């Protein structure tokens, strides 16, 4: 069994280009698999999901869901099933998972 290091990504460490600044390194998150916290994942979703695109937060959100800053600053990282919003306004990592019913799940 391999033990995986759990890296805590701070919201303010992810810049508006979706680049994660960590330990002196710059790690672009676009195209990378990121670990999705268990409490925001639906049961059937994979633990790691690839960041498919970046969108401007103000195109998706009227305001920061946490502190109400409007327009919502920064970017949202979109994976197949989850959206990760590093909110710089309140240094919060906000996760959004769409509600789905099983009828929407297709097996390949």
Would residue 39 be called left, alpha or beta, if left means φ above 0 and alpha means ψ between -120 and 50 degrees? Answer: alpha
Q: Can residue 89 be called a binding residue for Zn ion (CB under 5 A)?
A: yes
Phi-psi region of 31 (alpha: psi -120 to 50; beta: other; left: phi over 0): left
- Told to check if 96 binds Zn ion by CB under 5 A, we report no
Please report whether residue 70 would count as binding Zn ion according to CB under 5 A: no
Which one among 66, 81, 96, 97 touches Zn ion, defined by CB under 5 A? Answer: 66
Which position among 11, 14, 29, 87 is part of the footprint of Zn ion (CB under 5 A)?
87
Q: Residue 52 region, left (φ>0) first, then alpha (ψ -120 to 50), else beta? A: alpha
In the bound state with Zn ion, the residue whose beta carbon lies nearer, of 17 and 91, is 91
The residue among 41 and 66 lying less far from Zn ion, judged by its C-beta, is 66
Min dist. Cβ of residue 59 to Zn ion (A): 16
Closest alpha carbon to 95 in 77, 107, 108, 80: 77
**Sole binder of Zn ion in the list 64, 75, 78, 84 (CB under 5 A):** 64
């Amino acid at each position: 069994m391999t033990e995986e290091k759990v890296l805590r990504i701070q919201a303010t460490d992810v810049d508006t280009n979706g680049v994660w600044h960590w330990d002196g390194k710059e790690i672009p998150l676009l195209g990378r698999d990121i670990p999705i916290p268990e409490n925001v994942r639906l049961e059937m979703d994979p633990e790691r999901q690839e960041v498919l695109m970046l969108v401007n937060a103000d195109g998706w959100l009227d305001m920061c869901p946490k502190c109400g800053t409007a327009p919502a600053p920064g970017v949202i990282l979109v994976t197949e099933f989850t959206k990760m919003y590093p909110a710089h306004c309140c240094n919060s990592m906000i996760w959004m998972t769409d509600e789905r019913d099983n009828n929407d799940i297709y097996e390949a």
